[in-house]
Amino acid sequence: MGSGLGDLQVYRNALLMSERAWQVYEILPKHLRFDIGSQFLRAIDSIGANIAEGYGRYHYKDKIKFYYNARGSLWDAKHWLYLLKQRKLVEEEYYEMFMQLINATGIQLNNFIKSTGKLADGR
């Protein structure tokens, strides 16, 4: 992906989550792929997509709006992952591993938003 966006750890984590979410989607029974599977995939994929779109924006406030959208999608993904676990569609070990990645990405995303905000404020 070259320099820039691909150098951001938060974006690389979002891509990793997308890969792992796809693995879950592929093992779901076909009748569940359309419902919970596609909701989970959309939430996860939206994290990276919003980071990428924000990164490509020129104005800091515009960038931050997309990063906030990414954070909202991250919480949406947590919800769907929790339901996958509750419905016994993913194993506890997988759930814990994925939730750790989501939480780490959330911290990175919050720090990224904060640092972008400081640039907007001229600090």
Q: What is the pLDDT of residue 117?
A: 78
Residue of higher predicted confidence among 115 and 123? 115
pLDDT in tens, 12-59: 999 999 999 999 999 999 999 999 999 999 999 999 999 999 999 988
Q: What is the pTM of this model?
A: 0.91
pLDDT in tens, 49-99: 999 999 999 888 899 999 999 999 999 999 999 999 999 999 999 999 999
User: Is residue 3 scored above 70 in pLDDT?
Assistant: no
User: Is residue 123 scored above 80 in pLDDT?
Assistant: no
> Residue 51: how many CA atoms within 13 Å on its side-chain side?
28
5-121 carries CATH number 2.60.40.10: no
Burial label, 109 (beta-carbon count in 10 A; 0-12, 13-18, 19+): buried
Residue ranges of domains in the chain: 5-121
